[in-house]
Structure 1
């Protein structure tokens, strides 16, 4: 690893440390013991079976939403629409499970539901990708708007076609469930499910597409420099649309993990889940790499699970969100500092 890549890899590490230190200072000022708080988080997340399982449940959609954002970033696009794509994938997977014959075996039912989520999320990503490529509409605007369309459209479909008491869909059949009695017993009754395997496979798929295929090279090239890619004979518009479709597909699978593993149904949502927006932070912290996204997801999930441990010490839940925000702030600040430094170096070199 060269010096530049090593320094880049240190950005999230230093940012996490600074965030934790800043959080500790805030706790000290507020009259709490930060060592005890962080110790309780570690014990709860890694040494308590139930909360370890619940942490994994949180990690699963975070990995996939982070991959969605990271994939788009690699292609030079900013996908703010992960929330909407996740909701569409969630509904697509649950609806498929409810519409297919319940007697189908798991080896058919579960892949069919995940494929439906891939198609649903991919189409929801395809639309802003097409608008960007064909009409030069900025993807940030369209993806934000698509989030709200997805939220209210999925709610309307549930109310019309899949409504059950409790403002949700009926439960999916057991043949479509990713839950396992083995994992349930292993984690003392948590909701942990086999979706973690799906999430890890997703990380490998992203790495393979981007770094081991010629199409992945094209996507990265277009993201790095669209004009040079066009001059080299690449179809920039087509690659933009494809990037958004794949990004949306990852988000759709994140939604499927909620429907098939965590809840076994889909609720009528009054607001967004927040998972898609957390995916932006996870991708940023993970430097838009598959492995980095996994590590970032583990950190964020551990802090979120650790809120319960902090409650027992009387520490407000909002403090965990402050620590997460500080970590993101330090990551972003480092990027800004490096960008400014590089710009000044270029100007200084030009002056000479």
Structure 2
């Protein structure tokens, strides 16, 4: 592929994304008008609430905003994402993007092997349940064996070791549970030829109901009005940056957020998944099973094994996402788990990123910002549902990639033909 062709394809990809966003906003404006609102005001509110700082009113404020120092009264231009009350908008976006990155990677690994699995929600909540149980139960068992009645009085050496082992144990348990639950759908496909889409939908429903039962009955911590599990021990907690790594640093935008090591884990997972898919033989086999099944068959690639491997890795990633939501953010599971739904959102992120591993790292924060903007719609004069409608239209037009790309390519070719000199007419001698 020539450098010019590569540049053209990159420009096409950017053009498709921007065109899809524009068309999504244009189509959703009909519903905004029906709701009695100004489309421009609604869009500015969506993006300002999702990505802007305190006081953001217009699209221009999303990047550079003029603020007044309360002490000196002087005005200064600041980069909006790092400013605002609490200054944590970017940190909040990355916090919400963390489970989306992992579940999008989960979906991508499955899709690359030709397994259209949407079972990330079930694997996510089961991974969360495993982490919530182990994060509370295992430390208490260790304290009991050591004869410690009050965790606060535990030796510092023991606490240090547990701070390393407990999160690792929770993540490991969530990986195993998520991988096994995903493997079930893969086994049903390989051995019984049961459609993966159907089986994962059913498995999602079973997992969500099972977790709801466990939270309401066997693992319920108290009998108050809210059904919830016990709070995980401090040693199992993935401490946020603002209380750990950057506790003494003057970085204002970390304050108020729970962004922490989980985000680093998600980025490392993306790098490892990319390396596996594009730099290892097993990853090549998985891509061939989907991209060139006939070639894979005649090359002796074990398709069934590749599919099952993909489902195991996919489930493990979703399980990790659920564990991070518990040990890094919520510290327990509440009935109607707030993180539930991250699995399906991860599928959308994977589709929007065109199953690009590194594309997910950019699309997930963008999607998280839009979700945050839609949630904050309800604090103004606009209903939250309107924000969700706008997001849905943006996703819809992004999914029309091939149609939009073909239209852009057709326009490109037409302009190229019109701008190129006409071919000389054949002469009498040449004929």
TM-score bin (small chain): 0.7 to 0.9
Q: Among 63, 69, 80, which residue is 2:101 paired with? A: 63
TM-score with structure 1 setting the length: 0.87
1:93 aligned residue: 131
Q: Among 232, 235, 248, which residue is 1:175 paired with? A: 235
TM-score with structure 2 setting the length: 0.72
* Separation (CA, whole Å) in 2 of partners of 1:340 and 1:35: 26
* Separation (CA, whole Å) in 1 of partners of 2:89 and 2:349: 21
Displacement of 1:97 in angstroms is: 1.3
1:211 aligned residue: 278
* Separation (CA, whole Å) in 2 of partners of 1:99 and 1:309: 37
1:31 aligned residue: 37
Residue 305 of structure 1 aligns to a residue whose secondary structure is helix
Residue 173 to residue 204, structure 1, CA distance change in 2 (3 Å)? same
Contact preservation (8 Å) 1:61, 1:254: yes
Do structure 1's residue 238 and structure 2's residue 244 form an aligned pair?
no
1:320 aligned residue: 387
Residue correspondence of structure 1 range 39-118 to structure 2 within 5 A: 39-44=48-53, 46=81, 47-48=83-84, 49-101=87-139, 103=159, 104-118=161-175
Residue correspondence of structure 1 range 133-152 to structure 2 within 5 A: 133-152=190-209
Q: Among 295, 299, 302, which residue is 2:362 paired with? A: 295
CA RMSD across the alignment: 2.8
Displacement of 1:232 in angstroms is: 0.4
Displacement of 1:308 in angstroms is: 5.1
Residue 218 to residue 2, structure 1, CA distance change in 2 (3 Å)? farther
Per residue, is there more helix in 1 or in 2? 1
2:64 aligned residue: none
* Separation (CA, whole Å) in 1 of partners of 2:210 and 2:407: 43
Contact preservation (8 Å) 1:22, 1:326: yes
2:210 aligned residue: 153
* Separation (CA, whole Å) in 2 of partners of 1:215 and 1:153: 34
Displacement of 1:231 in angstroms is: 1.2
Structure 1: gaps (5+ residues): 343-352
Contact preservation (8 Å) 1:41, 1:310: no
Residue 2 to residue 171, structure 1, CA distance change in 2 (3 Å)? same
Structure 2: gaps (5+ residues): 1-5, 54-79, 141-158, 410-431
* Separation (CA, whole Å) in 1 of partners of 2:376 and 2:234: 33
Contact preservation (8 Å) 1:51, 1:305: no
Structure 1 stretch 324-333 or stretch 117-126: which is displaced more?
Answer: 324-333
Structure with higher Rg: it is 2
* Separation (CA, whole Å) in 2 of partners of 1:176 and 1:98: 8
Whose relative contact order is higher, 1 or 2, with alpha carbons under 8 Å and at least 6 apart? 1
1:18 aligned residue: 23
